[in-house]
Chain A
Amino acid sequence: MKMTGADMLVKSIKDEGVEIMFGYPGGVLLHFYDSLFNSGIKHVLTRHEQAAAHAADGYARATGRVGVCMATSGPGATNLVTGIATAQMDSVPLVAFTGQVPTNMIGGDAFQEADIIGITRPITKHSYLLQKADDIPRVVQEAFHLAGTGRPGPVVIDLPKDVLVEEGKYSFRENAEIRGYKPKLDGHPGQIKKVLSELKKSSRPVIYAGGGVVISEATEEIVAFAEKHQIPTTTTLLGLGGFPGNHPLHLGMLGMHGTYQANMTIHESDLILAIGARFDDRVTGNVEKFAPNARIVHIDIDPSAISKNIEVHVPVVGDVKRVMTVLNEMDKDAKTTHNAIRGKWLDRVNAWGKERPLTYDREGPTIKPQYVVEKLSELTPDDAIITTEVGQNQMWVAQFYRFNKPRTLLSSGGLGTMGYGFPAAMGAQFAYPDRLVVDVAGDGSIQMNIQELATVAQHNLPVKIVVLNNCFLGMVRQWQELFFQRRYSSTCLISNPDFVKVAEAFGVKGIRIENKVDVESGLAEAIEHPGPVLVDCMVDREEGVYPMVPAGAASSEMIFGPEKKEEKKLKAVK
């Protein structure tokens, strides 16, 4: 059957089971958008292409399905770049369609032409420049397969206008077989066995669980393993929720703004079981000083993640869920190792938790941002989806919001993209219209995609935005406070707009909270409101995120905020 390229593309996208996409039309995409009209695929018009990419990303992270975004050629495509890079760094399955000038004009500096394949080459898992309509079904099928399997990631498909206009023959293949792409899902049994023998030799083990646990949906398997062997478990930012936050073995997040307990446990351990994590520099601090006495087991689907930053002793390449399933199976008849030695280790771990729990000044008159996040955590159910922007807001959420379920925290971890949280919340809310979705933002980052208030207003999408407003680019300000003698160069945002009025101008409810006593009621009012709400919460201006591992320090060398600013050096206790 002959169809136009545009019709084939719509059909191909539908064949992949796509129900919703986020995008922004333009000249070269007119034929596609015409075919899309009445196709049954919901298309959400964002007000900036970057938001389309982040919304598709938020949809993907919340559901585990492939997110889809689209932008026109040239500036539309380049506006997607930040969103694509964000997805690449955090292994998010995304297919990004970009318009392109007609094939005979490519390379001629045509109007709205950009070499988007070249531009996105280092930030995609793969990319395609379509050359004829006949290729559309195969390419779309391959793209979704690549994006969603193995270590997920973004795939770009560039669509020259003439390819969408010409007619081709639609063919559907049963399997997207790609010769050069065979992700290794099953771990080598010999290597898995070694994990158990390492564990047997260890008296101070710790599990360090990353985003791979969430992606692979291996929470149950890891909890079972940790419980059986009584292994304390810390998670990365992207791993939060992958291990229940209310579990007695959970130590909270590790790394630069991790808990004292998690960082001390890692530093003092003799065995690190890294599962679906990649030893990011925000986790390890100074790699030379990272966990000096630990053997390292690394379970990850990406062979190139093994020994990339930290030398690994026992690598297991495979899908985390599958590996953990085999591990638990092999381990079935083994005795539990919760013996006297392990008990001693857990006592030490728990002592660190008691010694320096996460804290802040609860007594003062100002609204502490941590207090807002804590209240939010109390007021929202376990299945609420929390997105963050990047900076202090993100770290306070990671520290003070209790994530008990996977896929409930959506945050740009690797790239650290300000402006991510709000559009990501839209994507998650479209996926789960009945769940509570809250973007915890800063006053700086919310302004990076604030135009999306128009999108949520249009769809009456009940996303809640809580702006922790300190009239600063807070994280940079904090570094200036600590390391640049409080010279607040270009970080003061005292000229912020009135966010409540901004929200109202878009047709969105705005609430301002200026007093501590109003925090709880203000948040509750926002949560109960059936539509979108922006809460502008005026918080303590110079509050910092602590503890903090300064650049170049070992993870045990944390600073604890203004009142205890002296560096606490590790007392090596054996």
Chain B
Amino acid sequence: MRHTISVTVENRFGVLSRVAGLFSGRGFNIESLCVGATVDPEVSRMTIVTRGDDRITEQVTKQLRKLVDVIKVADLTETSFVDREILLAKISATEKNKAEILRINEIFRGRIVDISPNTYTFEITGDEGKIDAFMKLIRPFGVKEIVRSGKIAVSREM
């Protein structure tokens, strides 16, 4: 099962390697990991997506809590949460298919962030399902490059 884990950590060097090392040292794969500062500049938030059965995930969260630089760990999968990802996609465009590419982008409420004679670069924000759907539709036009941010997530207020 897939788990989205939110980890609040001290914003210090070396913290990322401690967290990442915990996963690799136990043979757990990280599907995506995002880090950014929070309102408190001394604290960062990591959103980690990992796959494993409940026992493995429980062990991971316990091990994360043991790290001295980790302030809080929450397995969001157990609660209701909102997640978002950003996709930057550089797509080949020709005179013929331009209109259709732009139409797909519009349907997905994407933004054009760069443009060249033969390419558009789109910025799409959404949950994973939306990003995947966009990718599926746009791929036949010729993907030059894509970058996905990985997931960030926050729990819903009840």
Q: Which residues of A line the B interface, CB within 8 A?
A: 117-118, 121-122, 125-127, 129, 146, 178-181, 302-304, 306-308
Contacts and interface: CB of A to CB of B under 8 A. Distances in A.
A307 B17 CA distance: 26
Contact of A121 (B10, B21, B63, B65): B21
Contacts of A302: 66
Given A304-B59, A307-B58, 20 more contacts: A121-B18, A122-B21, A122-B25, A127-B14, A129-B14, A146-B68, A179-B10, A179-B71, A180-B10, A180-B68, A180-B69, A180-B71, A181-B68, A303-B66, A304-B63, A304-B65, A304-B66, A306-B62, A307-B55, A308-B59
A126 B68 CA distance: 7
Interface of B: 9-10, 14, 17-18, 21, 25, 55, 58-59, 62-63, 65-71
A146 B67 CA distance: 11
B62 to A, nearest CB: 4
Contacts of B65: 303-304
12 contacts: A121-B18, A125-B68, A126-B68, A129-B14, A178-B68, A180-B67, A180-B68, A180-B70, A180-B71, A181-B68, A304-B63, A307-B58
A117 B21 CA distance: 12
A459 B14 CA distance: 41
B35 to A, nearest CB: 16
A121 B17 contact: yes
Contacts of A121: 17-18, 21
B68 A304 contact: no
A304 B62 contact: yes
Given A125-B68, A178-B68, A117 B14 contact: yes
Contacts of B59: 304, 308
Contacts, number: 38
A122 B25 CA distance: 7
Contacts of A304: 59, 62-63, 65-66
Contacts of B58: 307
A88 to B, nearest CB: 12
A308 B69 CA distance: 22
B17 A118 contact: yes
A122 B59 CA distance: 16
A129 B15 CA distance: 12
Contacts of B25: 122
Contacts of A118: 17
A121 B69 CA distance: 13
Contacts of A126: 67-69
A117 B65 CA distance: 20
Contacts of B71: 179-180
Closest 3 A/B residue pairs (Cβ): A304-B62, A126-B68, A180-B71
Please indicate which of the listed interface residues A146, A179, A181, A308 has the most CB atoms of chain B within 10 Å of its own CB: A179
A117 B69 CA distance: 15
Contacts of A303: 62, 65-66
A357 B76 CA distance: 53
A528 to B, nearest CB: 48
Please indicate which of the listed interface residues B63, B65, B66, B71 has the most CB atoms of chain A within 10 Å of its own CB: B66
A181 B66 CA distance: 8
Nearest to A303: B62
A125 B70 CA distance: 13
A568 B86 CA distance: 63
A545 B58 CA distance: 38
Nearest to A123: B25
B69 to A, nearest CB: 6
B74 to A, nearest CB: 14
Contacts of B9: 180
A483 to B, nearest CB: 27
Contacts of A179: 10, 71
Contacts of B68: 125-126, 146, 178, 180-181
A192 B63 CA distance: 24
Contacts of B17: 118, 121
Contacts of A122: 21, 25
B118 to A, nearest CB: 41
A153 to B, nearest CB: 10
B58 to A, nearest CB: 7
Contacts of A306: 62
